[in-house]
Structure formats: structure tokens, C-alpha cells
């Protein structure tokens, strides 16, 4: 598709995808119904073929369509009628019309985007090996697709999804600018907020659970002060048990934290039931975060009150990383990272403007 070809589409662009659209996922999801649009570009050539290919075409190496946008399914290139009955023969063109009647323009914007992505990669000499890599990635996962025609369809869908992902990634990376906010976000994600990564475990006596316990014991309407006092005494007993040598994880069944309760019931996570995975100084609020920052490694805290209840906190490790020491490494990693949904949408906007795309 040349720029002239694209400019002949003669109505306004559709607005960008809404925030909750499935198109927000990284790259492009190749859905079966997109064949409605793709099939149109195959109709003339497929219908005109005089020689039917051998049955082995079902298993042959997939080939790109003439425009190079996607891998063709065998029915699009076999030249055979798709179905026969007494006095009736259904060919590819007839099936395409049916598909378009079902989907109308639902996938037109997506297809046009994939089409101009393929053209732009060709024009700029990018992602030249994307088809081979997509096929190789499918072969590595072939056991996941299953046997029979359903398995072949899943494989083709995966190959097309990989093809589009590789091309979008290549175009985005070619012009990507690494901004300071991106570096800082990657730094906080990989090395902890502000470069301080901590491993934390805790026990919680919550105000909500304590109120339930008081009601079960006969106090029909416990006051906030009664609830807080009982929670403080209960957490103090937990701390005394830890001080007496009881393992932190052995007290996990007495914690009111729902995550701890869930992990306690699973043999695979029981030994780390009280760990707060990926703690980033947000969960349980600012009082908890302040206590974590001040707590020495390997020492169980005094009871810490938050809006949730009373906590016992232990920082099991603390690793500090300087941003300047890893900036170059982070920049290099971000340069080759997959395209984000924001970058994919920006690429679509740029290409639609560049090629003068207007959708009917």
C-alpha cells in the first residue's frame, strides 16, 4: 500500500480507542474475525487461481499475503470451492461477502493500522526477519496449540499476532526517546522506591476482626476505644510469643491479614505466609511505611498502629541502589523494551497522519 493508495480512503478517521478497549493490550491482538478485512485483499487472486494445491498445503510453511501484512490461511490460496452440495458450490468470494456482512467495518481500523505498519517497515527496512521469527516462535510452542484443524488455527493466530508485535516493536524502538520519568519508574520498579528495596513480613490484628471477636464474646456494641484496646493487647501477646522464640511464620494463622490467611492454607506458600511481596511503601498506609523505613533489619518492631489495626513488622533485608550506578543499564534496557500501549497508540496516530488515512 503506497501513500497514494492510503490517501484514497475518503472519510473521517475514527476516534482513538477507548481506555477500556481490548486494543490497549501490547501490540495487536490477532482475532479470528479480523479475517473479514484481510480476506478482501485475497479475493481476486484466490478466486482466479486455476490450479488447486495438494492436500499437503494444510501443513505447509505459512506464507504472507501479497501485501506482506499477514500469514494467509490455506483456504485463501487453495483455489478450491470451500463447500459443495447438490447443485451448489460455495467459493472464497461468497464466503468473504458473508464475513463482511457479519462484521461490516468493525475491524477496518485495526486492519488498516496493520497494513500501514507492514508498509512502513518495508519502506524503512525494519523487522525484515519478523516473518521467520514469528514462525520460529510458533514452532517452539507448537505443543500448546493442540492437534487438528483447531490447533492449526490457533497456530496461525499466534503467528500473525507475533508478526504484528515484532513489527510494531521495531517501529517504536527506532524512534523511542527515553524520558526521565521512564527511567525513574523503571528504577523504582526494579530497585525499590527511591532505590531502597526491602523484604518485609508482618502480623496484623485488625480492628474489623477484633470487633467481630468482641461481638462473638457477648459485647454487642463495642466502642472504638474498646476495639483498639483489645487489638493492642492481642498484638502485644503476639510480640511476646516472638520474643520467647516462636517463629514468625508459626504465628501466621493468628494474623488477620487476608493475604497471610490465604498463603497459610497453601503448602507452597505457607513458609512465607507473612511476607508482603513487592512491598513499595504503599500498602497499609503512611504509618506502616514510616515504620518500615525506621526499622533495623532483623528486629521485630513494637506494635505499629495504622488505619487497619496493629502490626508487628520485621524487615528481613534492605538493599540500597544509587540511580547513577544503574542509569546506563536502565536506559539500554528501556531502549529495547516492548512497545507499551501508549507507544502503540502514538504510532497509530503518527502513521495515520503520515499516510493520510481516512476511514469510510
pLDDT digits (tens, 9 = 90+) for 172-194: 999 999 999 999 999 998 898 89
pTM of the model: 0.63
Query: What domains lie within the chain, and their CATH numbers?
Result: 3-179+337-354 (no CATH), 193-320 (3.10.50.40)
Number of H helices, E strands in the chain: 15, 6
User: Three cell numbers at 96?
Assistant: 468473504
pLDDT at 37: 40
User: Three cell numbers at 246?
Assistant: 516462636
pLDDT at 75: 82
pLDDT at 60: 59
User: Three cell numbers at 157?
Assistant: 493466530
Closest CA to 3 of 153, 116, 99: 116
> Any idea what DSSP says for residue 22?
G
Residues 6 or more apart from 208 whose CB is under 8 A from it? 256, 309
Residue located via cell numbers 490484628: 205
User: Three cell numbers at 339?
Assistant: 512497545
Tell me the C-alpha distance between 263 and 356, whole Å.
Answer: 55
Q: Which residues of the chain have pLDDT under 70?
A: 1-60
Amino acid at each position: 500500500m503506497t501513500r497514494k493508495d492510503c490517501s484514497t480512503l475518503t472519510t473521517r478517521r475514527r476516534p482513538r480507542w477507548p481506555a477500556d478497549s481490548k486494543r490497549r493490550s501490547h501490540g495487536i491482538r490477532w482475532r479470528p474475525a479480523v479475517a473479514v478485512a484481510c480476506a478482501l485483499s485475497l479475493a481476486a487472486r484466490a478466486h482466479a487461481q486455476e490450479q488447486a494445491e495438494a492436500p499437503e498445503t494444510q501443513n505447509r510453511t505459512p506464507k504472507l499475503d501479497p501485501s506482506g501484512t499477514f500469514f494467509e490461511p490455506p483456504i485463501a490460496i487453495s483455489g478450491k470451492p470451500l463447500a459443495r452440495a447438490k447443485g451448489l458450490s460455495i467459493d472464497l468470494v461468497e464466503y468473504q461477502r458473508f464475513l463482511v456482512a457479519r462484521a461490516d467495518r468493525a475491524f477496518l481500523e485495526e486492519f488498516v493500522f496493520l497494513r500501514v505498519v507492514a508498509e512502513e517497515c518495508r519502506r524503512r527496512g525494519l523487522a525484515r526477519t519478523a516473518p521467520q521469527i514469528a514462525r520460529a516462535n510458533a514452532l517452539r510452542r507448537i505443543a500448546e496449540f493442540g492437534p487438528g484443524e483447531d490447533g492449526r488455527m490457533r497456530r496461525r493466530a499466534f503467528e500473525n499476532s507475533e508478526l504484528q508485535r515484532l513489527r510494531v516493536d521495531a517501529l517504536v524502538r527506532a524512534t523511542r526517546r527515553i524520558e526521565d520519568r521512564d527511567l525513574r519508574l523503571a528504577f523504582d520498579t526494579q530497585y525499590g522506591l527511591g532505590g531502597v528495596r526491602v523484604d518485609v513480613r508482618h502480623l496484623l490484628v485488625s480492628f474489623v476482626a477484633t470487633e467481630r471477636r468482641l461481638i462473638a464474646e457477648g459485647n454487642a456494641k463495642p466502642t472504638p476505644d474498646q476495639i483498639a484496646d483489645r487489638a493492642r493487647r492481642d498484638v502485644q501477646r503476639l510480640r511476646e510469643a516472638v520474643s520467647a522464640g516462636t517463629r514468625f511464620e508459626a504465628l501466621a494463622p493468628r494474623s488477620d491479614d487476608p493475604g497471610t490467611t490465604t498463603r497459610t492454607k497453601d503448602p507452597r506458600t505457607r513458609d512465607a505466609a507473612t511476607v508482603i511481596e513487592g512491598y513499595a511503601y504503599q500498602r497499609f498506609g503512611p504509618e506502616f511505611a514510616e515504620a518500615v523505613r525506621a526499622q533495623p533489619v532483623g528486629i521485630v518492631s513494637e506494635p505499629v498502629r495504622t488505619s487497619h489495626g496493629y502490626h508487628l513488622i520485621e524487615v528481613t533485608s534492605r538493599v540500597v541502589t544509587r540511580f547513577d550506578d544503574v542509569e546506563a543499564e536502565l536506559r539500554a534496557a528501556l531502549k529495547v523494551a516492548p512497545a507499551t500501549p501508549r507507544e502503540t497508540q502514538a504510532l497509530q496516530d503518527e502513521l495515520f497522519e503520515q499516510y493520510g488515512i481516512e476511514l469510510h
